[in-house]
Structure 1
Amino acid sequence: MTEHAEYTDHHGPEGPAIRGTVVVVPGRGETRETYTRLGRRLAADAYRVRVVDAVHLDADDPAGSLTRFGARIAEAVEGTAGPDGVARPVVLVGADTGAVAVAALLGSGESAAADAVVLAGLPARTAAPGDWDDELNVRTFCPAHRSTLVGDSGFRRGALDEAVPGALLTAAYESEADVPALILTGDADPLADRDALTRTAKSQPRARLSVVRDAHHDVLNDMQHRSVAAEIVTFLEALRNELVPLVTVESTAW
């Protein structure tokens, strides 16, 4: 792992060829530290992982927010290039408002930087409780993740109370970007709008909606983080195979 003023990089083991590039965009209140566990796990499967700072969405200038975000993502992707260029496919992984920004950006047609996206914990317009204990319960029941949030001096408590700009939220849910998309949500996430997520998934030409049992808003980091990471890796591997699953179940008793 290497640290920079604007991003954190996770490198895979020496030897295997890099299988693609993953850029992770945190959500409200989160820092790059929030995604250390996920970054290391994806890097262990030979993906080049870069975690950038959380995106700032300006309600007074939503279009400008997207333009600035798009430029920052393009720079982050280009900065991962090795001797043979950027390892493709390039996949943007957004959480909470990071997912909003990624979906809205791709839907606007302003960015060709991504070959696919993972949208985790897309929020609705529902506000979260202001109490810190309540916010922790909304976010996660994972003891390790809760400890990470509590111990991170850069994490902003109460950030889930911050409103998501309506124009960008609408753009995210109405995005019809023609790139493969994995949409992840927890069925115990009080901030999720399952009906809207279902409509969005059905409206996109190559989208999959995966619901994680008993997971909360921080679906990438909740108790089920191993299974969620496995779902992402399965998506990444299928993406390299023209979205044809590499493993299918022929017979099962469970």
Structure 2
Amino acid sequence: MSTNISPSAVWPAVRVRGTLAVITGRGERAAVYERFGRRLSADGYTVGVFEADADAAGAWLDTVDAPRVLVGSDSGAASVLRVLAQGATADAAIIAGTPIDAEGDAVTAQPTDAERTACPLHLGVLGTDEARTAPVAVEPVPASADLAAVAVPVLAFHGSADRVSPITETASLLSAVPDLELVETIDGLHDALNDVSHRSVAASIVLWLERLRGGDVHTPVLRALRQVQGADRHEPADA
């Protein structure tokens, strides 16, 4: 385990409702998650980013406010699943773009920026020296028997147009996780946390975190009582 458990970057919440420890993916630095960190911290969740060090992230969570959530994208998602299967202390996890390698070999080439996102702002971030490192091998996702040992709820996001990790294969592998909510980002690419739907993804995360704070991610906080469609939308109140 790493002896340094300080995050590479942290976005503190003023009134803390919980803590997220983000593990970066292949070749990513903490700057990749600045927008994500600022947005979640504005809703009361402190966000710390660890550069490819899931062990340090787990150790840091032991020192911060609950609920404590591990977050990972790409290889970071595989790292999150590994430490959870090994019994890491966390209340829940959020993963995105879980890596799948059909041949079972280590992947060293990073996804191209165009494969990662269609968001112009995020493309600009990825083009900076502060955001990227040299290519590294992807950490493999644990085997199904190990995933079955994950004892906390997991919220997973995956783009329907992800060519790096096709969603069908990813969904099949993640089905071994006992308590899994898999959310498809429609026409989304690999960086589901930072793609064009990043606002909707962040909003979904906040709703899920609020349910987690309530003690059960499966118990809704909000409920739609009536959905108005078509001509009914314009009916007067006394019709």
| Superposition TM-score, scaled by structure 1 size | 0.77
1:128 CA drift (Å): 8.3
Identify the residue that residue 133 of structure 2 maps to in structure 1.
156
Change over 3 Å in CA distance of 1:27–1:173 after alignment to 2? farther
- 1:131-142 pair list within 5 angstroms: 135-142=112-119
2:94 is equivalent to residue 118 of structure 1 = yes
Amino acid at match of 2:220: P
Q: How many residues align?
A: 219
Q: Amino acid of the residue matched to residue 8 of structure 1? A: A
Over the aligned positions, Cα root-mean-square deviation in angstroms equals: 2.6
Q: 1:119 to 1:175 in 2, by over 3 A?
A: same
Conserved? CA contact 1:145–1:222, under 8 Å: yes
Q: Quick one: distance in 2 between partners of 1:8 and 1:172?
A: 32
Q: Which has the larger radius of gyration?
A: 2
1:171 and 2:143 are equivalent in the alignment: yes
Mapped to 1, the partners of 2:92 and 2:166 lie a distance apart of 22
| 3-state SS in 2 of match to 1:211 | strand
Q: Deviations over 1:120-148 (max 9, x none)?
A: 11011159896x9x811101111100000
Inter-CA distance 121–101: structure 2 relative to 1 (3 Å threshold)? same
1:13-67 deviation digits (Å, cap 9, x = unpaired)? 3xx3x11111111100110000000000000001111111124xxxxxxxxxxxx
CA contact (8 A) 1:173 1:200 kept: no
Code of the residue aligned with 1:47 in structure 2: it is Y
Matched, 1:26 2:28: no
**Mapped pair 1:224 → 2:197:** yes
Residue number in structure 2 paired with 1:77: 61
Match for residue 240 of structure 1 among 213, 219, 225: 213
Partner of 2:9 in structure 1? 8
Unmatched runs of 5 consecutive residues or more in structure 2? 230-239
Q: Which runs of 5+ in 1 are unaligned?
A: 56-68
Task: Give the drift of 1:240.
Answer: 1.1
Q: Secondary structure at the match of 1:169?
A: coil
How much does 1:195 deviate? Answer: 3.1
The aligned runs of 1:88-107 (5 Å cut-off) are 88-107=66-85
* Distance (Å, rounded) in 2 between the aligned partners of 1:96 and 1:8: 19
Map of 2:47 onto structure 1: 49
1:209 corresponds in structure 2 to 182
Q: Give the drift of 1:196.
A: 3.6
Aligned identity (percent) is 35
Contact map agreement 1:90 1:115 (CA 8 A) in 2: yes
Once residues 180 and 44 of structure 1 are traced to their aligned partners in structure 2, the CA distance between those partners, rounded to angstroms, is 23
Secondary structure of the equivalent of 2:80? helix
Q: Is contact 1:173–1:197 with CA below 8 Å preserved after alignment?
A: no
User: Once the 2 structures are TM-superposed, how far is the Cα of residue 117 of structure 1 from its aligned partner?
Assistant: 0.2
Q: Is the 8 A contact 1:27 1:94 kept in 2?
A: yes
Does the 8 Å contact 1:10/1:43 carry over to 2? yes
Tell me the SS of whatever aligns to 1:104.
helix
Kept in 1: contact 2:7–2:57 (CA 8 A): no
Preserved CA contact (<8 Å) 1:25 1:51 = yes
Distance in structure 1 (CA, Å) of the matches to 2:175 and 2:50: 29
Q: Work out whether residues 149 and 155 of structure 1, in 8 Å CA contact, stay in contact via their aligned partners in 2.
A: yes
The answer to whether the Cα contact below 8 Å between 1:129 and 1:135 also exists between their aligned partners in 2 is: no
